[in-house]
Amino acid sequence: MTRTLIRGGTVVTASDTFAADVWLEGGKVAALVAHGTQTATELGNADQIIDATGQYVMPGGIDCHTHMSLPFGGTTASDDFDTGSVAAAHGGTTTIVDFAIQSKGTSMRAGLDAWFAKAEGKAAIDYGFHMIMTEANPGTLEEMAAMVREGITSFKMFMAYPGVFLVDDQQIFRAMQRAGELGALITMHAEIGLPIDVLVQKALAAGRTAPVYHALTRPEAAEATGTERAIALAEMAGVPVYMVHLSAQRALERVMEARDRGLPTYAETCPQYLFCSEDDLRGDPDDEWKGAGYVCTPPLRPKHHHDHLWRGLRNYDLQVVATDHCPFCMKDQKELGRNDFSKIPNGMPGVETRLHLLWEGVVAGKISINRFVEITSTAPAKIFGMYGKKGTLAVGADADVVVWDPRREKRLGVDTLHMRVDYSPFEGRVVPASPSHVLSRGELIVEDDRWVGKQKQGRGQFLRRGTFGL
Ligand code: URP
Ligand code: ZN
Ligand code: ZN
C-alpha cells in the first residue's frame, strides 16, 4: 500500500488554513500533522515524498456540471470522458458530475446505461451523474427512485429548448414533489424558452444571423423570470432547488430574495459568467464570427454583471462555481451556425481552467482562499451527496489532493491546455498560479503539467452519491 507524504505545505480547507504535513495511505487521507512534529519512525516511512514548501495543499476540485460527449444541435461535444477527465485533472479537478439524459419516450435506465457506456473504461478521474429529465410522467416519476438507489440523486429539468428538453411547470412540480419524497435534488435550467424562441425567429427573419444575436434574443428577463418561477414551484412543493449556470444580476436577486426568506435555494455560476461578456460574443470588429466560440446558454451578459456575481459568491448567495464544460470546435462544429446563430452548438470549454481563473479572484481579494476551496470543492460535495469522501482534507477522506503553487504562472491557450477543442476562450491570458501536483485517491496523476499516473483511461471510479447533503 503506497504511503505518500506531502511535506511542508499550507493546508487549506473551506474553514481552515494551517501548516501541516499530509499523509496519504490506501487512497485515503491518513493523517494531518504539524510540520516537523512527527518523525518518520512514528508514522512509518513514506514511499513517496512531495515537497509542498511555499504551496497550498487543498482538496481536489469537484466540477458538478460537465457534458462529456453530449449530443447537441446535430453534433457531439468534442471532449469525451477520456480527454475531458484528463484535462480536468491537469487543472486540479479530481471529480466531475456529468449529465446523463433521459430522452423523450425512453427510460431513465436507458439514459443511465448510455452514460455508463460513455464513461466506463474511459474516465481518468472519479465521476458521478445527474439525470436530465425530459418528461415527468408516471413512468419517469417512478423511475426516479431507481436512479436514487443507483446514486443518481439529482435531476436536471429545463424551462428552455422547446421540443428538446423543455418541460412544463406541472411536470417540474410533480418531479419536485417526487424528489422531496426521495431526498433527491432538482436542478433547474431556468430560462423561459417559449418566448425566447419567438425572439430568435424574429431576429432570423430580419436577417440578424451573427453570434451576438444569441445573447440579444435571450434577455436577462427570461432568466430572472424562470428563476423566480422555479423558486416558487420549489416553495410550493416544500423542497430545495438548485439553479444551474446562473448568469445574471436579476436572476441572482431572485435567489437572494428566496434565501432571505429562508428558502433552501442554491445556485451555481460558471467562470464564463465571471470572466467573459457579451463583448466577446460580438467577436472582433473585422471578424464577428469569432463570437461563436462564446455561444453558451444562458448567454454571456454585459460586463456589469460580473461584480454582482462575485458579490454573490462572497456573500454565500451563490454556493458553487462549476464549468458547464460543453466544448465544440470552431471547425465543423460551431461552423454549423455560420449563417444562423441559433444553429451554433451551445457550450464552451472550461473543465481545465476553472481553478486557474478563480484564483485570480483570490489574488484580487474578491474571495478568500477558504471560500475558493468551498465553492470549487466543498459546497458541491455537500450539495450533491459526496461530502466526507470528497470535498475536504480530513482523516478518512479520499486522498484527492491538489498541491497549488501560487507562483506557477501559466499562459492559457490551445497549445498549453488539454481539452480536445480547437480554440480557447482565454487564449493568451496569463494566470498567476497552477497546480504542481494532483493526486486522485492517493495516486499522483499530474506533476508539472504532465500525466504521470500509471493508468489513464478507466482509472476513474463511478461515484454512487448520497441524497441531498444539506
Ligand atoms: O451552453 C450550454 N450550457 N450547453 C450545455 C447545455 C446546458 O444547458 O447546460
Ligand atoms: Zn442548462
Ligand atoms: Zn450544462
Given a contact cutoff of 8 angstroms between Cβ atoms, the answer to whether 270 and 65 are in contact is yes
Last residue of a domain, one of 327, 353, 383: 383
**Which of these, 409, 402, 407, lies nearest to 428 by C-alpha position?**
409
Domain match, 39 and 26 both: yes
Ligand nearest to the CA of 187: 2
For residue 16, is it within any domain? yes
Q: Percent of the chain at pLDDT above 90?
A: 97
Separation CA 286–CA 299 (nearest Å): 22
Burial label, 20 (beta-carbon count in 10 A; 0-12, 13-18, 19+)? buried
Given a contact cutoff of 8 angstroms between Cβ atoms, the answer to whether 209 and 293 are in contact is no
Measure 188 CA to ligand 2 centroid, in angstroms.
7
Atom 8, ligand 1: residue with shortest CA distance: 297
Domain match, 205 and 255 both: yes
For residue 37, is it within any domain? yes
Closest ligand 1 atom to residue 158 Cα is 8
Measure 314 CA to ligand 2 centroid, in angstroms.
23
For residue 65, is it within any domain? yes
Separation CA 264–CA 247 (nearest Å): 20
Give whole-number Cα distances, 101 to 328, 358, 448, in Å. Answer: 19, 29, 36
Last residue of a domain, one of 352, 383, 414: 383
Domain match, 326 and 262 both: yes
Cell of 262: 429562508
Given a contact cutoff of 8 angstroms between Cβ atoms, the answer to whether 280 and 291 are in contact is yes
Ramachandran assignment for 442, one of left (phi > 0), alpha (psi -120 to 50 degrees), beta (any other): left
Domain match, 127 and 260 both: yes
For residue 461, is it within any domain? no
Domain match, 238 and 90 both: yes
Residues 218-254 pLDDT 10s: 999 999 999 999 999 999 999 999 999 999 999 999 9
Q: Specify the amino acid at residue 387.
A: Y
For residue 456, is it within any domain? no
For residue 459, is it within any domain? no
Domain match, 267 and 402 both: no
With a CB cutoff of 8 Å and minimum separation 6, the contacts of 135 are 102, 104, 167, 171
Residue 30 pLDDT exceeds 90: yes
Q: Could you tell me where the beta strands, DSSP code E, fall in 160-223?
A: 185-189
Residue 40 pLDDT exceeds 60: no
Mean pLDDT, the chain, as a whole number? Answer: 97
CATH number of the structural domain spanning residue 78: 3.20.20.140
**Which of these, 410, 421, 251, lies nearest to 348 by C-alpha position?**
421
Atom 3, ligand 1: residue with shortest CA distance: 297
Residues 372-394 pLDDT 10s: 999 999 999 999 999 999 999 99
Residue 364 pLDDT exceeds 60: yes
For residue 466, is it within any domain? no
Domain match, 114 and 168 both: yes
Domain match, 175 and 139 both: yes
pLDDT-derived band at 41, boundaries 50, 70, 90: low
- Look at residue 470 in the predicted model and tell me its pLDDT: 74
Pocket test for ligand 1, best of 188, 269, 324 (most atoms within 8 A of CB): 324
Closest ligand 1 atom to residue 189 Cα is 8
Cell of 360: 485570480
Q: Which residue has the cell 433552501?
A: 264
With a CB cutoff of 8 Å and minimum separation 6, the contacts of 142 are none
Mean pLDDT of the 126-152 span = 98
Closest ligand 1 atom to residue 67 Cα is 5
Cell of 2: 503506497
Separation CA 293–CA 229 (nearest Å): 30
Residue 37 pLDDT exceeds 90: no
Give whole-number Cα distances, 94 to 48, 59, 88, 229, 443, in Å. Answer: 20, 9, 7, 34, 11
Domain match, 351 and 398 both: no
Burial label, 454 (beta-carbon count in 10 A; 0-12, 13-18, 19+)? exposed
Separation CA 174–CA 79 (nearest Å): 34
Ligand nearest to the CA of 188: 2
Separation CA 462–CA 445 (nearest Å): 18
For residue 431, is it within any domain? yes
Domain match, 78 and 116 both: yes
**Which of these, 261, 184, 196, lies nearest to 225 by C-alpha position?**
196
Measure 172 CA to ligand 2 centroid, in angstroms.
15
- Ligand 1 lining (C-beta closer than 6 Å): 67, 189, 245, 296-297, 324, 326, 346-347
Separation CA 213–CA 323 (nearest Å): 23
pLDDT-derived band at 42, boundaries 50, 70, 90: low
Q: Which domain holds residue 29?
A: 3-58+392-451
Domain match, 279 and 408 both: no
pLDDT-derived band at 36, boundaries 50, 70, 90: confident
Atom 4, ligand 1: residue with shortest CA distance: 347
Last residue of a domain, one of 328, 354, 383: 383
Domain match, 420 and 346 both: no
Residue 469 pLDDT exceeds 80: no
Q: Specify the amino acid at residue 100.
A: A
pLDDT-derived band at 444, boundaries 50, 70, 90: very high
Torsion angle (degrees, nearest 10) of CA 217, 222, 223, 228: 180
Ligand nearest to the CA of 72: 1
Residue 171 pLDDT exceeds 80: yes
Chain-centroid distance of CA 192 in Å reads 22
Torsion angle (degrees, nearest 10) of CA 393, 395, 401, 406: 50
Ligand nearest to the CA of 189: 2
CATH number of the structural domain spanning residue 21: 2.30.40.10
In order, the DSSP letters of 373-384 are: HIIIIIHHHHHT
Per the structure, the count of domains in the chain is: 2
Cell of 335: 461552423
Pocket test for ligand 1, best of 245, 301, 343 (most atoms within 8 A of CB): 245
